Structure 1
Amino acid sequence: MVFFALFFAFFFLTCSGLLVCALFRSQPHVSQARPRVSILVPARNEAHHIERCLQSLARLSYPPELLEILIGDDASTDDTAAVVQAFIADKPPFRLVRIGHPVGSARGKSNAIAQLCRQATADYFLLTDADMQLPPDWVQHMLGAAEAPAHGRPVGVVTGSTVAHGNLFGRLQGLDWLFGLSVIRVLSDGGLPVTAVGNNMLVTRAAYDSIGGYETLAFQITEDLQLFACIVQAGWGYRNLWHGHVLGISAPQPTVRCLLEQRKRWMRGTTRLPWYLSGLFGLYGVFYMVLFFPPWVAWPLTPLLYGAKVLLQTLYLWISLRQVGRHESLGVLLLYEFYLAGMSLLVLGYTLWPGHIRWKERRYAWAEV
């Protein structure tokens, strides 16, 4: 019993520490400089989502003459290219780029980004996905975070925040985005580099060139995690922002099957995450095993411990939502606990089940990514 008492003490101290750290965040900083920027949007089979993304980019408050918006059609088999061409016909900052054969060792999305970077002419690359919607002053705030050094080093990569929207299933996915990215933000603020998210990211040309670009890197399916790790290893600083001015809204996965495919790809990336993040998520998962297997814990304590965990989790989500200017009902915040437990089991089982990783109608073997 001493071991389990120590486990729960450590668990709740860790969760309380994360909650306290989440209360503190850096204030938004708007860049006063107005450099030219390249916004890069790799797209494959995104005909249903991409116009929403392009509309948000067209509403950016940054001077249009300083924007270069490159949309990379990565061999789409649907009407993605036609939708893009119709939208950008009278919009000079936008340009459609046809993604060609792989360059170097790049494949899939990393190849699309590599080719867009070769076409880009600015010194700042802002990356997003075709299913994202960005706020009007996104560019100024991302640039502002790159101006001053971070952790004693010039900033090479900046990550914004992301949630999802839609029906109840989509809102629960949004809380999942929020929970994970908020933990990453807390660790990053404490000087522990974790990762960046490729749907809402700034990379300086100098940092990107210093690692040779995607064409020189061994292929990985989680290309954003790889890019972040290589840039930090090359000596560049990083920032993870957490406020509404850099909040991207992602389209949720429409079905459980699609969500499992996405998470299986993400699970491949978790094998390369730093030990402190893997340890935190592992601790969270072990909590259920320790709590719900008597006689490890005396039954009268089980509801109390479980209730304390849900309370801390709900407070953490509520604070994180408020900081990015979002709101959610108490019922949905409480429902997230059951979504999290159920999806965690499904994702673990789906990942362990033999089979390829399917991503944008392409198949990858686990060993090659």
Structure 2
Amino acid sequence: MYPPLISIVIPARNEAAYIGRCLESVYAQDLGGLECEVIAADGMSDDGTSEKLKTLKSKYPNLKILENPKRTVSSGVNLGIRESKGDVIVRLDAHAEYGADYVKNCLEALERTGAGNVGGPAIPLPGGGTDMARAIVLAHYSPFGLGGGSFRKTGAEGFAETLWPGCFLREALEKSGLYDERLTRTEDIELNARIRKAGYRVYLSSRIRAFYYCRPNLKELWRQRWLDGIGVVQTLAVNPGAPRPRHFVPLAFVSSMILLAALSIPLTPFRWMLAAEAGLYLGAMAWFTLGGLTSLRAARERERERGGADVKTWNPGLLRLLPPAFAALHFSYGLGSLWAVLSAPAWWARFRKPMSFELENA
């Protein structure tokens, strides 16, 4: 039986370019007459997001806008959840848009599976109109790009360890607690681990479709993945059972490359080992670049489904840009994780200290 009220919570900071499209997709939801409240928590944006939200409120009168002085995604979601009244909480990302049946399919999945949190695949969209922006999308489709997490696979279905962004039973959050506000990245991995520990399951449905705008260029992609690499090590400190070994593959790869490079200066045998590792990596990159034709077909199909007029821009010539996109994804994440490890004496104790973020006004 569906809940009488659904709460949609959207954290946002500096999302002026995307918040309009996000809210347009939210208010286009086919809810079948169900009552819904929409809460946007603005993290002290300085790019015009706040003004855009105020303008949008005139179009969507029931939009509730909160000011999030802590600025981070985790604190923004927590603020919105504590202000919400619904028995089901749909956490959305402002940097994305959602199919018209997104919420309806979330509710159906909750009822059908008995899970405490449900979601669907993160379907990538280009963050700009350049060939590099489209190549970054292809890298996201590739298992070589992001490591093959289940919520990255468009056809995935079944119980999972984590997902993005999430549709939660309120009772699950009452038992597990909210997002850990010390975490500014990968906070979803840690929360889903606590939800599973509290006795609830996490379910991924291919019918729940969210379209995420990737970073538009290598500079922004590098910054995003650098912070993600830091975040996963901090998540390990907060909740050692949350990250999985695959999250640390870039760290192991980058660390071994740096170590072998240092040892190869005085010791010749290590030069051969470094060359072998680099060769294996470049060989894998070449293989998956050629395999990018599969990603290209998926991107073209997605463009057709969305009624896009730019299908022809998704052409094999984009494959030439896959190697730098792959390298940016891997090295930025690995170096971010390495930086977090090396700087751990400055923050580890603070993150290891037990803290709880309760749904205080549940």
> Does the pair score TM above 0.5?
yes
Cα distance, 1:278 vs. partner?
A: 3.5
Q: Does 1:161 align with 2:125?
A: no
Q: Could you say if the C-alpha distance between residues 91 and 41 of structure 1 is closer, same or farther in structure 2, counting changes exceeding 3 Å?
A: same
Task: For 2:47 and 2:108, locate their aligned partners in 1 and report how far apart those are by CA, in whole Å.
Answer: 37
Task: For 1:352 and 1:308, locate their aligned partners in 2 and report how far apart those are by CA, in whole Å.
Answer: 27
Q: Does 1:201 align with 2:201?
A: no
Cα distance, 1:42 vs. partner?
A: 0.8
Structure 2 residue identity aligned to 1:108 = T
Structure 1 residue identity aligned to 2:30 = S
Deviations 1:198-236 (A, max 9, x none): xx321111111111323xx47222222221111112111
8 Å Cα contact 1:156/1:236 also seen in 2: yes
Task: For 1:79 and 1:306, locate their aligned partners in 2 and report how far apart those are by CA, in whole Å.
Answer: 40
What secondary structure does 1:62 align onto?
Answer: coil
- Any residues of structure 2 matched to 1:335-354 within 5 Å, and which? 335-349=321-335, 352=338
Query: Normalising by the residue count of structure 2, what TM-score does the alignment of the two structures yield?
Result: 0.69
Task: For 2:198 and 2:283, locate their aligned partners in 1 and report how far apart those are by CA, in whole Å.
Answer: 47
Residue from 29, 35, 38 that aligns with 1:69: 38
Q: Percent of aligned positions with the same letter in both sequences?
A: 23
Structure 2 residue identity aligned to 1:164 = L
Structure 2: give runs of 5+ residues left out of the alignment. 237-241, 261-271, 352-362
Task: For 2:45 and 2:232, locate their aligned partners in 1 and report how far apart those are by CA, in whole Å.
Answer: 28
Task: For 2:245 and 2:341, locate their aligned partners in 1 and report how far apart those are by CA, in whole Å.
Answer: 29
What secondary structure does 1:67 align onto?
Answer: strand
Query: Normalising by the residue count of structure 1, what TM-score does the alignment of the two structures yield?
Result: 0.68
Q: What RMSD in Å do the two structures reach over aligned CA positions?
A: 4.3
Which stretches of structure 1, 4 residues or more, deviate above 6 A after TM superposition?
186-192, 279-286, 292-295, 301-306, 354-357
Task: For 1:201 and 1:131, locate their aligned partners in 2 and report how far apart those are by CA, in whole Å.
Answer: 14
Q: Does 1:259 align with 2:228?
A: no
What secondary structure does 1:183 align onto?
Answer: coil
- Any residues of structure 2 matched to 1:96-135 within 5 Å, and which? 96-99=65-68, 108-135=72-99
- Any residues of structure 2 matched to 1:1-369 within 5 Å, and which? 33=2, 35-63=4-32, 66-99=35-68, 108-149=72-113, 154-162=114-122, 163-165=124-126, 166=128, 167-179=130-142, 183-185=148-150, 193-197=160-164, 200-214=165-179, 217=180, 219-222=182-185, 223-243=187-207, 246-250=209-213, 252-271=214-233, 272=236, 274-278=243-247, 308-311=287-290, 313-314=291-292, 317=295, 328-333=314-319, 335-349=321-335, 352=338, 367=348
Q: Could you say if the C-alpha distance between residues 285 and 330 of structure 1 is closer, same or farther in structure 2, counting changes exceeding 3 Å?
A: farther
Task: For 2:66 and 2:217, locate their aligned partners in 1 and report how far apart those are by CA, in whole Å.
Answer: 30
Task: For 2:342 and 2:92, locate their aligned partners in 1 and report how far apart those are by CA, in whole Å.
Answer: 26
Task: For 1:237 and 1:64, locate their aligned partners in 2 and report how far apart those are by CA, in whole Å.
Answer: 28
Cα distance, 1:182 vs. partner?
A: 8.3
The total of aligned residue pairs comes to: 312
Task: For 1:354 and 1:274, locate their aligned partners in 2 and report how far apart those are by CA, in whole Å.
Answer: 15
